Structure 1
Amino acid sequence: MSIRKIVTFTEDVLIEGGREVSPAARVAVVAAIVKNPWAGQGFVEDLTEGIDANASDLGALLAPRVLKALGSPAEAYGKAAIVGLNGEIEHGSGLIHTLAFGNHFRDAANATTLLPAVEKRGPAGVVFDIPLKHITDATIRSHHQSIEVRINDAPHPDEIVIALAAAAQGRPQQRLADFSTESK
């Protein structure tokens, strides 16, 4: 696995809707910019070798970093794979849609739900939103949120941005009722 760089950032919302958010609502993102393991090979029928060689290592690298950046237990989480223009969306999907990748984050966060994801292809600096949902109950509306990400020089055409995001809480000032309160 060839990693060009790792980007880490946090966002703390202090005021939402004109009211103080206390404690501040924190979301953390950690992204690894990696060489696409299938770059320059043309159409690869079986992606298994590249997935086996990279997915678990990426999950093991990113999961503890995003939780450390969050600085609190995660209540919501998500993932992303943004493929450079010379790759296929399937290349990014192959790396993040495997238990070898996702279980590192689930285990570290004591989570049980599927990780929501975004996959897309784009040029360096492409904007993408990572969706987040509650770590143990995907029906909890307060934790359905997203974080916007942009890395100015990534992905290069032969790279993939692999990212994890975690939130220490639901949306700031959320006030929607749980799904279970609605009649059909």
Structure 2
Amino acid sequence: MNDLSLGIRKIVFYSEEILLENGLSPAVPAVRATAAAVVTNPWLGGRATDDLNEEVIKLAPVLARKLTDVLARELGGVDAIQAFGKAAIVGTDGEIEHGAALIHTPFFGNLVREYFDGESIICFADDRADAGASLVVPLWHKNAAATRTHYQTITTRISDAPLPGEIVVALGASTGPRPHSRIGDRLTDPVVKADTLGELIS
């Protein structure tokens, strides 16, 4: 099937590189980016009890391939990508579940992990909104989700999408950590419980 038969209207790439943070250049410069596809919602007019699987199998793998290809090409290859995330915005004529169907199943998430040589569960966000709404895509390390250095977000928007009958599906990626990351790691944290903090929280 070609893009038009699948209802893909356009693919949008956005990137940013932070050159200065709090007066200093990052020790590890990183590029963060999103690749987003605007697609016709294939479930418009359906019932809230309808099975979504047939269209998921048809569309989700194509989106996974296209969006990972764009990010890998623009960010210097799969090996350059250290963190990833996914998100969807459903237009106002659709259900939140329609966006979830395209990003939360193995037909999308498993393929994204495979294409990016990742192991982590992919962090995510989903919403329903009008065209031009901002989409905040959360990211974390593709192989070490407990590594706080790579907890970050990238915000993107498409001025004319999603239209009421569309869905925006986005993948985010980063070639490195947050600027000046220095808050430790979940795997080396001390044990913190309310009863051990005593007067600090009383």
TM-score (norm 1): 0.95
Residue of structure 2 in register with 1:149 after alignment: 156
Q: Tell me which amino acid in the other structure corresponds to 2:68.
A: A
Q: Cα offset for 1:49? A: 1.2
Distance across 2 between alignment mates of 1:103 and 1:42: 27
Residue of structure 2 in register with 1:49 after alignment: 54
TM-score (norm 2): 0.87
Give the conservation status (yes or no) of the 8 Å contact 1:29–1:166: yes
Give the conservation status (yes or no) of the 8 Å contact 2:28–2:177: no
Q: Percent identity?
A: 41
Say yes or no: does 1:68 pair with 2:68: no
**Structure of higher CA gyration radius:** 2
Q: Cα offset for 1:172? A: 1.0
Residue of structure 2 in register with 1:14 after alignment: 19
When the two structures are aligned, how many residues end up with a matched partner? 184
Per-residue CA shift, 1:103-161, capped at 9, x if unaligned?
22212221001111111000001112100010011100000110011111100000000
Q: Cα offset for 1:180? A: 2.6
2:107 to 88, 100, 103: 100
Match of 1:6, SS? Answer: strand
Q: Cα offset for 1:40? A: 2.6
Name which of structure 1's ranges 158-167 and 14-23 shifts more when overlaid on structure 2.
14-23
Residue of structure 1 in register with 2:196 after alignment: none
Distance across 2 between alignment mates of 1:75 and 1:3: 28
- Structure 1's unaligned 5+ residue stretches are none
Name which of structure 1's ranges 98-107 and 31-40 shifts more when overlaid on structure 2.
98-107
Give the conservation status (yes or no) of the 8 Å contact 2:28–2:179: no
Higher strand share: 1
- Structure 2's unaligned 5+ residue stretches are 1-5, 192-202
Q: Tell me which amino acid in the other structure corresponds to 1:7.
A: V
Give the conservation status (yes or no) of the 8 Å contact 1:84–1:158: yes
Give the conservation status (yes or no) of the 8 Å contact 1:31–1:161: yes
Distance across 2 between alignment mates of 1:180 and 1:42: 45
Distance across 2 between alignment mates of 1:170 and 1:24: 8
Show structure 1 runs of 4+ deviating over 6 A: none
